[in-house]
Amino acid sequence: MITEVSEKELMLQREYIAKVKEINSKLSEIPLAHVHSFGCQQNVSDGEKIKGMLALMGYGFTRETENADLILFNTCAVRENAEDRVFGNVGALKKLKENNRNLIIAVGGCMVQQEHIAAKMRKSFPQVDIIFGTHVMHNLPQMIYEKLADRKRTLSIPECDGVIAEGLPVIRESKVKASVPIMYGCNNFCTYCIVPFVRGRERSRKPEDVFAEVEGLVKDNYKEILLLGQNVNSYGKEYGVSFSELLRRLDSIEGDFKISFMTSHPKDCTEELIDTIADSRHISYHLHLPVQSGSDRILKEMNRHYNRERYLKLVEYAKKRIPDVALTTDIIVGFPGETYEDFKETVELMKTVQYDSAYTFIYSRREGTKAAAMPDPVTDEEKGVWFRELLEVQNAIGEKAYERFIGKTVRVLCEGIGRTADGLMTGHSRHGVIVDFNGTMDMIGQYVNVKITKSCPWAVVGELVGDTD
Ligand code: SF4
């Protein structure tokens, strides 16, 4: 069941926005907020909404914590080291709080949605004023008002299956690229993953809401739209509109823009989706398909609901249908119970697929997940050796992967100054590949045609030309 935040509740929050704004307007200087989002694109997107609400409350923004009146960390729970970083960063704010009793410190997001973390944050970090979970982000105006009005600490971590709050204000990080969440939460319960516990059950935004937002962004001259969801392939079950259908509707919007999306779960990725990409006008020729392991035994232990054969069939179909398709993946090394033989199957799969790039991680134990209780006899040291072996294999593949673009002309969204050599501009092609070329600053935010002359492990280089192939 989808719980959409009611108009009445949102109205109440708008009232709190006005109250905070009034308090802030009486200050001699505009108060400054420092907002930092850790982790995935979804968190970055949430951070943009948080900034949107803060701007309406009269806050300006600062990149520094030292001159901020409000510091907000929007946290991530996917890996233990990300949590350690947040604890370190919050700990470092103690001095600032001692020097400025009016400073408000807020910590929100996935990490504190976990009960034991919220309890630790409350007990060990008294400098934190507001602790809020993923399901109450839209109530931030009320929490800030209550802090300003009565100086009390707030802990708001409701247990629920998740909500959708439409119409929150947004301050986007970029003027050319925009993220659009199309769904929230996840039902898959991969045994290593904390996301279903902290982001709630799967729920999709209405197709007409997504369409209206994307259409508005294209009208506002945004050139790249990134559709977000933990598993975009299972979008729209509540509305009888599949992800492929949503993509086709968005692809019908007139304009010069690209649509990309993440993340695709291989179990729900279909030939229909691949056909939709292949036949589209605007959709990126890039498929990020997280395989996680090449061993059927480990995939089963991970509760991934596909096997190596099905995965490779999808890859084969994508290579057949989508011109020069860019394939990327996520891989976990050292899942509990994984043997060197299992790991070798992952290496072999990597060689078979020939990914453009791979995000490889050593397994990170997450309390509360099934995998956390599984025997894990392989030492961290050994996992490190496997990890480096995998990286070497992927680096060798990556060195040659982009050679297939040499001699071809591609459309590139110019985004800024390049890194491969002085005087070059940079952008991404329809395949999501970084392209450096001899452009000029006035091209930023525009599509240009570039003939590829050289490939590097993580980018290609080319020259401006008139027409695409
Ligand atoms: S699909 Fe699996 S890995 Fe991805 S968010 Fe859901 S549970 Fe986590």
> Domain ranges in the chain?
7-156, 177-400, 406-465
User: By C-alpha distance, which of 243, 155, 169, 157 is closest to 205?
Assistant: 243
Q: What does the alpha-carbon distance between residue 386 and residue 375 come to, in Å, rounded to a whole number?
A: 18
Task: Look up residue 109 and give its two tokens.
Answer: 């997001």
The single residue listed with the structure tokens 């060798």 is 396
| Alpha-carbon torsion angle 317, 412, 328, 351, nearest 10 | 80
Which is it for strands 357-362 and 409-417: parallel, antiparallel or unpaired? unpaired
Task: Look up residue 325 and give its two tokens.
Answer: 């398709």
Give residue ranges with CB within 6 A of ligand 1: 186, 188-190, 193, 195-196, 230-231, 265
Q: What does the alpha-carbon distance between residue 410 and residue 285 come to, in Å, rounded to a whole number?
A: 12
Q: What does the alpha-carbon distance between residue 349 and residue 373 come to, in Å, rounded to a whole number?
A: 28
User: By C-alpha distance, which of 239, 249, 253 is closest to 205?
Assistant: 239
The pLDDT, as a whole number, for residue 344 is 98
The pLDDT, as a whole number, for residue 154 is 85
Q: Where are the beta strands (DSSP E) in 291-345?
A: 326-333
Q: What does the alpha-carbon distance between residue 389 and residue 383 come to, in Å, rounded to a whole number?
A: 10
Q: What does the alpha-carbon distance between residue 353 and residue 357 come to, in Å, rounded to a whole number?
A: 11
Most ligand 1 atoms within 8 A of CB, residue of 190, 264, 305 to mutate:
190
Q: What does the alpha-carbon distance between residue 246 and residue 235 come to, in Å, rounded to a whole number?
A: 8
The pLDDT, as a whole number, for residue 451 is 97
CA of 194 to the centre of ligand 1 (A): 8
Atom of ligand 1 nearest to the CA of 199: 5
**Those residues with Cβ within 8 angstroms of residue 240's Cβ, 6 or more apart along the chain or in another chain:** none
Q: What does the alpha-carbon distance between residue 213 and residue 222 come to, in Å, rounded to a whole number?
A: 11
Q: What does the alpha-carbon distance between residue 32 and residue 57 come to, in Å, rounded to a whole number?
A: 11
Q: Answer for the pair 97, 70: CB distance below 8 angstroms, yes or no.
A: no
Superfamily of structural domain 177-400: tm_1862 like domain (3.80.30.20)
Atom of ligand 1 nearest to the CA of 186: 6
The single residue listed with the structure tokens 């939709």 is 276
The single residue listed with the structure tokens 């001095």 is 95
Most ligand 1 atoms within 8 A of CB, residue of 42, 193, 197 to mutate:
193
The pLDDT, as a whole number, for residue 1 is 57
CA angle 79/433/400 to nearest 5° reads: 95
CA of 150 to the centre of ligand 1 (A): 40
CA of 304 to the centre of ligand 1 (A): 9
Most ligand 1 atoms within 8 A of CB, residue of 134, 184, 188, 366 to mutate:
188
Architecture of domain 406-465: Beta Barrel (2.40)
CA of 265 to the centre of ligand 1 (A): 8
Q: Which CATH number fits domain 7-156: 3.40.50.12160, 3.20.20.70, 3.40.50.300, 3.40.50.410?
A: 3.40.50.12160
The single residue listed with the structure tokens 């995939």 is 299
Q: Answer for the pair 383, 334: CB distance below 8 angstroms, yes or no.
A: yes
DSSP string, 16-79: HHHHHHHHHHTSSS--EEEEEE-SSHHHHHHHHHHHHHHHHTT-EE-S-STT-SEEEEEE--SS
Strand order in the sheet with 258-262: 177-181, 224-228, 258-262
pLDDT in tens, the chain (469 residues): 557 888 899 999 999 999 999 999 999 999 999 999 998 889 999 999 999 999 999 999 999 999 999 999 999 988 888 888 999 999 999 999 999 989 999 999 999 999 899 999 999 999 999 999 988 999 999 999 999 998 788 888 887 777 888 989 999 989 999 999 999 999 999 999 999 999 999 999 999 999 999 999 999 999 999 999 999 999 999 999 999 999 999 999 999 999 999 989 999 999 999 999 999 999 999 999 999 999 999 999 999 999 999 999 999 999 999 999 999 999 999 999 999 999 999 999 999 999 999 999 999 999 999 999 999 999 999 999 999 999 999 999 988 999 999 999 999 999 999 877 778 999 999 999 999 999 999 999 999 999 999 998 889 999 999 755 5
CA of 193 to the centre of ligand 1 (A): 6
End-to-end Cα separation, the chain, in angstroms: 47
114 C-beta neighbours (distance < 10 Å), count: 22
175 C-beta neighbours (distance < 10 Å), count: 12
Strand order in the sheet with 32-37: 60-61, 32-37, 70-75, 104-109, 130-132, 154-156
What is the DSSP code (8-state) at residue 258?
Answer: E
Asked if the domains at 7-156 and 406-465 fall in one CATH topology, the answer is: no
